[in-house]
Structure 1
Amino acid sequence: MSTWFDQQKKSFADVPIGADNGISTTEFLEAAESLTTLFDVLGSKAFTPVKNDLTGNIKKVRERQLAAPAESETLQALVVNELKTKKHVASEGLLWLVRGLDFTAQALRHNLDNASSELSNSFREAYGNTLKPHHSFVIKPIFSAAMSATPYRKDFYVKLGEDQGKVNESLDREVVALEKNVAILKAFQETKEAKW
């Protein structure tokens, strides 16, 4: 039985992380793009702004990677090298992408760990912990609408695959890998070399 995870181009579990915690840019962006399709599974048009935000930030990082491939093999190198040019388009894109991925990871982790919790609760709590403090009063209602538009837990998990044991196992594997990538990048973004 195939699950939604089996159909993805790249999983965060497949993103190479170097000895120095350098995260491979190409695989990371492919995994992030794959993950954005999860918002399609949620099924509501209310999630379009959330998905567009993620894909827009992926595009900013990818454009920098394409413009300077030798300086962009890892996300950390991409940021450091872009900042040397006195620009920060991709660096800021990555900052927002990490916030969006952190939001997604926290929502999914909360839902995995709390079997009786509805998705709307998990997403609302994650939003409050991650994106909400950085959002303007114009953006907050758009994202709040998305949190309220989440499907029922039972309907969402069925869309991910028929074999719920396999779905939970795959989801947990993805979330663990996503949490690791996000933690590494958040720590890097706190360093002086990642600031503009």
Structure 2
Amino acid sequence: MMAKKRRREMENITTEIRSAIEELSVMVKLKPVQEHDDDDDDHHHHLSTPNIPTRPFLSICSVVVQVLDKIGPTMVVLRQDIHQNIQRLEKVYESEPSKYKNLAEILKMEALQGTARKTSSCCRALVWLTRSMDFTVALLRRLAVDPGLSMEEVVEDAYSTTLKPWHGWISSAAFRVAMKLIPDSRTFIDLLAGKDQTQESLVDEMQKLISLLTPFLEEIHAALKTYNLERIRST
């Protein structure tokens, strides 16, 4: 299925941004089905388990990787990181799809086992995936507001507000080196756009993607906070 999807994208019938909007629309449709407003017996469980459908969320992360690919070699470290984190969460999800169809159930399981903060935990994977999505949203938001900005400035701003506060010296240094390889914003916008798509139309789609993705990211941040995971740092 993924191969078919990639082929479609290469043929430019759909763009990464449109694919992401499609995936998010699936999430929006799935979400209300999992609401449990009257779950009084398990009040804490309800508080700490927002409804984030696992499979669609991981699909959206995979599409976002393709958006970051357009920035080129600069994003290779972040791309590998996202890919590994998707795989880690996918492995647990596939072990018992009905149990882990909500991402928050994976957080809860590791919290109960006491493994949530371990280097190879799914909780950690979700923390970094969410921050990578925050980075992408910040990047697209800045570009949508001012497409004339230099790409270096856009990436630097997005990085400073989303990933930099949690990166140690090694990660920050790697990012500094990568910054030298960024294309200009015109090139990036052309790469993101569909065939014959206007810049205005692309900006509209970027804004739609941001407005759909932001509420899900806010819910994940709230869940991570519940389990005291939101301040995890890297080296």
CA distance 1:179–1:144, change in 2 (3 Å): farther
For 1:39 and 1:147, locate their aligned partners in 2 and report how far apart those are by CA, in whole Å.
13
* Partner-residue secondary structure (3-state), 1:84: helix
For 2:160 and 2:143, locate their aligned partners in 1 and report how far apart those are by CA, in whole Å.
15
For 1:7 and 1:134, locate their aligned partners in 2 and report how far apart those are by CA, in whole Å.
30
Does the aligned pair in 2 maintain the 1:26–1:73 contact within 8 Å?
A: yes
Does the aligned pair in 1 maintain the 2:85–2:125 contact within 8 Å?
A: yes
TM-score (norm 1): 0.87
For 1:181 and 1:60, locate their aligned partners in 2 and report how far apart those are by CA, in whole Å.
20
Query: Match for residue 44 of structure 2?
Result: none
Alpha-carbon deviation of 1:193? Answer: 7.6
Alpha-carbon deviation of 1:34? Answer: 1.1
Query: Match for residue 189 of structure 2?
Result: 157
One of 44, 51, 57 as aligned partner of 1:22: 51
| 2:107 is the alignment partner of 1:96 | no
Alpha-carbon deviation of 1:168? Answer: 1.7
Does the aligned pair in 2 maintain the 1:72–1:78 contact within 8 Å?
A: yes
Aligned pair count? 195
Which structure 2 segments of 5+ residues have no match?
Answer: 1-11, 37-49
Report the AA paired with residue 125 of structure 2. Answer: G
Query: Match for residue 108 of structure 2?
Result: 80
One of 5, 29, 37 as aligned partner of 2:16: 5
Report the AA paired with residue 11 of structure 1. Answer: E
For 1:128 and 1:156, locate their aligned partners in 2 and report how far apart those are by CA, in whole Å.
20
> Which protein is bigger by CA-based radius of gyration?
2
One of 29, 35, 44 as aligned partner of 2:64: 35
CA distance 1:118–1:11, change in 2 (3 Å): farther
Alpha-carbon deviation of 1:123? Answer: 1.3
Does the aligned pair in 2 maintain the 1:17–1:23 contact within 8 Å?
A: yes
Could you report, residue by residue, the CA deviation over 1:21-78 in whole angstroms, capped at 9, with x for unpaired residues?
4010001101111110112222x22211111111111111111112232321111122
Report the AA paired with residue 180 of structure 1. Answer: P
For 1:94 and 1:148, locate their aligned partners in 2 and report how far apart those are by CA, in whole Å.
28
| 2:178 is the alignment partner of 1:141 | no
RMSD of aligned Cα (Å) = 2.4
Does the aligned pair in 1 maintain the 2:16–2:64 contact within 8 Å?
A: no
User: What is the aligned-residue identity percentage?
Assistant: 19
Could you report, residue by residue, the CA deviation over 1:65-96 in whole angstroms, capped at 9, with x for unpaired residues?
12232321111122112322232311111011
